Structure 1
């Protein structure tokens, strides 16, 4: 096939190549910046926005310290304090820590892996806009005086309609869920990009350690976030429609919320920690002047840490009445988690001991991390011991521990990383005039603020109180703690001034000022939108690269894709494990679609917040239509076959391969969806086993014929999707198979709606009916999404985007249909089994 290739290097001008690439990859000026989808632009936006929210959260934190500086203070009343305290925790966790790590990953990961962008730039941009709009909803509620006031953990029944009748709790449930969906999209993006879009030759055992950290972190996010999303949906459904998932008087259980929240919350501690550890593992070898010691041991440790973190969520629930055997198990697990953490810590110390550390500003902040994290780790092991936890639970000792682990492991590595990578981002070296005093103010202020909280907690001061009596020793500890908070705030203000000075007055640099050995420094500084003029071939571990030798050859276009073709934004896809190139990936150009789609999603959330449910449903449909429209703007209308990519290699476009990034993206999305489904089943089983007022007076009355028919038509839909794929691959018309699949899905939806309408007791009368309706509703939703897949197939056929070679759309439909049939059969089977289970439970009453 003929394609237009303009190889600037063959014309003797590398500069011409850079101009051509810049013209293709650059984002336009002015309002066109809103259409940006490039990873560098979106990564910077994530980080800047996260810092803005950090400033807001910091101000809220200082307001709480003003209130608690003296006993019986009247600076804030209880209602205002609860809103400020709730928003401080929510902003720092959901609007700063996680989005900041996402921003760092978005900006650095493609550069470290030697690729030009992420696999789905439009999805990255959509995730950013969702994050911005969700965070804006939360912070605007604070200004309006209707911010969440039930704590950043939203424990029931405090967050139920009875005790929080306004929209305060709804703001948290809908706003945080909106932000969590953004985080999930980024997690899928990171996983697929790391696994399929590394530089050629970069096998998994050659991947930079930061890539391993982000891969494990993103996989954890895919599994950890769905339980919280489910919990938020169930609680909002209870508040809006009266379905009693957490109401003990109607068969619910408030502890179900704690289980779902901490199934997310405890892994989230390590989701926040691991990227920071990845930054440290990247910077420490540079400042030590020696390769990282224990590379493979660290990889094993972070994988082990990820697995262990999911098995110890009850660590946060030791005082709620857990059986002693379970307490022993979770206590042991909470202590064991220190082992993989220590492996990483000792690897860093060994690297520093083996080399000759350079004591500069980033190393100062790394030192600050070591000090604070050691204290947080030791107090964590203390709290893992059940007898001690019973004494310290719900005291300021836990607040201090939490801030040492989360605050210490986030703030100090991020500041170290800022000073380390800011030359890459800005093209200027550091000024450092205020950096050192800023560090000491932050370090002293941090320890003064939070170490004293340990003592206050040991003296019995409870957390989550807005004032306290003049108890001996509480007063001076709180006063000094508040003073430390102001010292720390001054330090952060100096950091901001220092960073602005660096951006404005720092000396310009064009190459790596640190003599590092990772690929992000093998490009001009600051990076161009296309990152690499040509892509490298990696033959050594990617943190041991001779950057100074590699960079000039890449700039001259001597690597892969050192030319432009058809105005395409091109990069390479590789084999997951070996890193051998497999496909030519053509990325989309700048577009406003992510912005419009996020606006539609935000409007749907706001309509739900103000109880405009029909309008909200309409905006959900608009959002779905925009997603379908986005699918039609990607792909090719002709087959290209093998195309040259440089270095004597030819590859097919990703649209003509069997498993392009889109297939893996859907596969990992279904992992997240399967986790949500599993959490829903867990909730149903938990209520059967533990909730009061079970079994209900009535029994579920399900029609066996309708239930079995629904399963059958779901299977027919899956078989039809396979038939449609075979037809396309065989160059036959798939219309009949698509029609059969659509009819089967419509029949399944109708049958499931009938089942939901006939569940006894009614969903609002008992948790049995509510959970049965939720399980069946899950299947209805997925069948409806299956119809959207079929609609997309029809549109792409109409626009000529499908052929015997270009059939990925039908492969995605088949994957979704198979998943829907499997989960639908399990869900309907469980509902059919409800009468027998109710009878079994009746034996306990």
Structure 2
């Protein structure tokens, strides 16, 4: 017999709560832990990223020669429809929601999201919708072929006569994903407004939290328009109504307004959190405070406000009146002002800093360079005369992919590498990370830069064959596409091998300042033993009065 005291039930429960969540089993369960859900989102969306990437490589294989000699035209239409849909709705949106799920409660000093069960339900709708979408390949009538935008009258044609057809499943999957997004948006807004730690005022929140808040408010504002348009489209397709059918008095241009009222702001829903990632990474790897923190934070809200008044620039060639073209040309160009503020702040942050070119920093800098190029071509497309000339050409495809891959996907890789030690408790392999960056950076530019001269020369998009004079640039683009596909291999090898047998990560391997770096790697189930008290602004690198709760990180300086 010993005289050691027996642990009480409360002590055992507290120990379990503060044990890092490192086992694999929760990731296959209906967990309500925001960190588990965040990784579930990231892993699931990356699987869809691989599927969408394989579809893209089939497209580039077809376009490496002028003739349609790899797949049929109908199958080509289905491939590019599914590629766009998978990449946008099943890769970009879920991956960003996953990153925000993991980080936002930690960054604001909360134990979890405001509605944990709603959070879990929102995630599990994603694999359900993805399965529904991809199951259309099993139908005799095949998949949807109307593009990821699904314009009528093409999207309401049903030659097979089947009630359940590829277009029906496309609309159903997108509707389910829309419900998931609305659930997530409500959760994020409620969490950020109501779950912040004591002292965490709005102007003490990290910029990443500001960008997530701005993006999710935008979701709640604009997504109902697309949801309504999709329901009307489904009625036209399956019930014979005439909302968008021109043969029976419908107006197909009305659908374009519904679609783009959401789908252009959706670009900012996608890109804003990535701009927040840049604002988190650059101060860490340049050892300087973020320049102009307050204006950078507010600029995210300004982008959201202006972005709901720019959608008609997608419709300059759709019979839009001249006065409306001029109005939306002005509002579209106006978005460049708050966006330019961010570029200026990042440049000033880097200026004179002690820059460390580790993998997260390389991806962030590469993505910012390509974002700047995409912004220049975006201002060009805002101009009515230029847009009228290139609106249905590969110039638009090149511009769009510099945003969705060059900026957003590269930014996501920067975020994954930066917070990987925090999420897994393991360090990634730096050599493989840098190899991944250079392959991806070269592949991205080689793939998408040639699309701009192709578009200026008049090559139409959405085609599987083209005139021989466009062959040179298409060969370069296809080679870049294959290189871009190969660049994913060192990433997979790096993440899987380091997660299994990598070096153990300390709580704060980058000597960063932020609440998420105060807890263990990976964090405990409920994040903080005690909710921290925040007394100062973030990004206090080199300052004498940073967050008191970050003293350990500063002593390492």
TM-score (norm 2): 0.92
Deviations 1:115-149 (A, max 9, x none): 11001110011001111100111112235462211
Match of 2:127 in 1: 132
Q: 1:161, CA displacement in angstroms?
A: 3.0
Match of 1:363 in 2: 361
Say whether residues 1:378 and 2:408 are aligned partners: no
Say whether residues 1:491 and 2:494 are aligned partners: no
**8 Å Cα contact 2:26-2:36 kept in structure 1:** no
1:798-813 to structure 2, matched below 5 A, reads none
**8 Å Cα contact 1:83-1:142 kept in structure 2:** no
Match of 1:804 in 2: none
Q: Secondary structure at the match of 1:535?
A: coil
Give the Cα separation in 2 of the matches to 1:128 and 1:204.
27
Q: 1:443, CA displacement in angstroms?
A: 0.8
More displaced 10-residue stretch of structure 1: 40-49 or 526-535: 526-535
Q: 1:370 to 1:247 in 2, by over 3 A?
A: same
Match of 2:401 in 1: 403
Q: 1:249, CA displacement in angstroms?
A: 3.7
* Among candidates 497, 500, 521, match of residue 501 of structure 1: 497
Q: 1:468, CA displacement in angstroms?
A: 2.0
* Among candidates 225, 235, 238, match of residue 237 of structure 1: 235
1:576-725 to structure 2, matched below 5 A, reads none
**8 Å Cα contact 2:22-2:424 kept in structure 1:** no
* Among candidates 503, 506, 526, match of residue 522 of structure 2: 526
Match of 1:227 in 2: 225
Match of 2:70 in 1: 75
Q: 1:86, CA displacement in angstroms?
A: 0.1
Aligned positions, number? 538
Say whether residues 1:353 and 2:351 are aligned partners: yes
Match of 2:50 in 1: 55
Deviations 1:389-448 (A, max 9, x none): 111011011100100122111111111111110000111122212222221111111101
Q: 1:125 to 1:433 in 2, by over 3 A?
A: same
**8 Å Cα contact 2:514-2:550 kept in structure 1:** no
Q: 1:297 to 1:217 in 2, by over 3 A?
A: same
Match of 1:94 in 2: 89
Q: Secondary structure at the match of 1:378?
A: helix
Q: Secondary structure at the match of 1:508?
A: coil
Match of 1:652 in 2: none
Aligned-residue RMSD, C-alpha: 2.2
Q: 1:32, CA displacement in angstroms?
A: 9.9
**8 Å Cα contact 1:431-1:505 kept in structure 2:** no
Q: Secondary structure at the match of 2:464?
A: coil
**8 Å Cα contact 1:131-1:179 kept in structure 2:** yes
Say whether residues 1:262 and 2:260 are aligned partners: yes
Q: 1:153, CA displacement in angstroms?
A: 0.5
* Among candidates 337, 341, 344, match of residue 343 of structure 1: 341
* Among candidates 137, 145, 150, match of residue 142 of structure 1: 137
Deviations 1:176-205 (A, max 9, x none): 111111011001000000000011121112
Q: Secondary structure at the match of 1:198?
A: coil
Deviations 1:782-810 (A, max 9, x none): xxxxxxxxxxxxxxxxxxxxxxxxxxxxx
Q: Secondary structure at the match of 1:468?
A: coil
Q: Secondary structure at the match of 2:135?
A: helix
Match of 2:307 in 1: 309
Q: 1:34, CA displacement in angstroms?
A: 2.2
Q: 1:71, CA displacement in angstroms?
A: 1.2
Match of 1:323 in 2: 321
Q: 1:32 to 1:419 in 2, by over 3 A?
A: closer
Give the Cα separation in 1 of the matches to 2:504 and 2:325.
58
Match of 1:109 in 2: 104
Match of 2:34 in 1: 39
Q: 1:409 to 1:143 in 2, by over 3 A?
A: farther
Give the Cα separation in 2 of the matches to 1:353 and 1:381.
26
Give the Cα separation in 2 of the matches to 1:143 and 1:249.
31
Q: 1:248, CA displacement in angstroms?
A: 2.7
Give the Cα separation in 1 of the matches to 2:43 and 2:244.
38
**8 Å Cα contact 2:40-2:98 kept in structure 1:** yes
**8 Å Cα contact 1:449-1:482 kept in structure 2:** yes
Q: Secondary structure at the match of 1:387?
A: helix
Give the Cα separation in 1 of the matches to 2:22 and 2:520.
18
Give the Cα separation in 2 of the matches to 1:546 and 1:289.
18
Gaps in structure 2 of 5+ consecutive residues = 1-6, 541-546
Give the Cα separation in 1 of the matches to 2:433 and 2:527.
29
Q: Secondary structure at the match of 1:434?
A: helix
Match of 2:276 in 1: 278
**8 Å Cα contact 2:158-2:237 kept in structure 1:** no
Match of 1:392 in 2: 390
**8 Å Cα contact 1:519-1:542 kept in structure 2:** no
Give the Cα separation in 2 of the matches to 1:378 and 1:142.
38
Match of 2:543 in 1: none
Deviations 1:263-298 (A, max 9, x none): 011101111110000111111111111111111111
**8 Å Cα contact 2:90-2:130 kept in structure 1:** yes
Q: 1:211, CA displacement in angstroms?
A: 1.2
Structure (1 or 2) with the larger CA radius of gyration: 1
Match of 1:182 in 2: 180
Q: 1:31 to 1:359 in 2, by over 3 A?
A: closer
Gaps in structure 1 of 5+ consecutive residues = 1-10, 552-845
Q: 1:456, CA displacement in angstroms?
A: 1.1
Deviations 1:192-251 (A, max 9, x none): 000000111211121121111111111001112111111110110122211211123433
Match of 1:153 in 2: 149
* Among candidates 185, 209, 213, match of residue 211 of structure 1: 209
Q: 1:469, CA displacement in angstroms?
A: 3.5
Give the Cα separation in 2 of the matches to 1:84 and 1:223.
31
Match of 1:615 in 2: none
Q: Secondary structure at the match of 1:35?
A: coil
Give the Cα separation in 2 of the matches to 1:334 and 1:525.
43
Give the Cα separation in 1 of the matches to 2:459 and 2:21.
56
**8 Å Cα contact 2:534-2:548 kept in structure 1:** no
Deviations 1:15-68 (A, max 9, x none): 867415258x97998599523111111110000001000000000000000011
Q: 1:542, CA displacement in angstroms?
A: 4.2
Q: Secondary structure at the match of 1:530?
A: coil
Deviations 1:460-502 (A, max 9, x none): 11001122232x2x11111111011111111111111122232
Say whether residues 1:84 and 2:76 are aligned partners: no
**8 Å Cα contact 2:535-2:548 kept in structure 1:** no
Deviations 1:530-552 (A, max 9, x none): 1111111111124443555479x
Match of 1:667 in 2: none
**8 Å Cα contact 1:380-1:401 kept in structure 2:** yes
* Among candidates 427, 446, 449, match of residue 448 of structure 1: 446
